[in-house]
Amino acid sequence: MTYSNTQLDHVKIARLNKLGTATIHEAQGAIGAIDSAIAPLARSMKMAGPALTLQMRPGDNLMIHYAMLHAKAGQVLVINCDGFTGAGIWGDVLTAQAQAIGLAGLVVNGAVRDSEAMIDAGFPVFAKGLCIRGTEKKQPGQLNVPLFINDCIIRPGDIIVGDADGLVVIEQAQLDDVIRLSEQREEKEQRFKEKIMAGASTAELMALHTVFGALGLKDPD
């Protein structure tokens, strides 16, 4: 099966970065959340772009060097090494190469190292952990294949969005609809905030009094 790695235009990237991952996740039906243990090295890190996927052996980063020969500007490299955090598979040298290519960011279901250098470089890195141990460069892997991280599937070309709250994946074919629905959700939440400032309650706005009543919860006198 062939997958597309279509690049995103700057307008869509800007719209995605404004929305936030939690909004996108809810707007697309509460799906696409990537393991919450994979977190940004710094809270200020944000990214959006199509996934270049890599399945590799834990403790060996040979395939990363191969993947970097195929990586394109604007992509997010998503590496699955099955959550292994006993070795740092990525560091400051690979970060320099990623920035020279123009990668939008990195997701690692595993560990990285040289975290301070990556934060200082301003390159968005989302990883499950940190480890100072190095890796071997011997084992094969698979580039541009679907990845399974816990209950989430990430296909090559799917859109990855990351921010301080975490990571979400959007199916490439659903991107325009998801952006539209997410922006509508943002507008609705803004109206809620305005009404709350005017004296409304969240219980009222979300029509929760019926639920409270069914549970035997009484309104205050």
What does each of the 221 residues of the chain score in pLDDT, given as a tens digit? 334 455 677 888 889 989 999 999 999 999 999 999 999 999 999 999 999 999 999 999 999 999 999 999 999 999 999 999 999 999 999 999 999 999 999 999 999 999 999 999 999 999 999 999 999 999 999 999 999 999 999 999 999 999 999 999 999 999 999 999 999 999 999 999 999 999 999 999 999 999 999 999 988 87
| The predicted structure's pLDDT at residue 2 | 38
**Which token pair is 182?**
């997410």
Task: Specify the pTM.
Answer: 0.91
| The predicted structure's pLDDT at residue 6 | 54
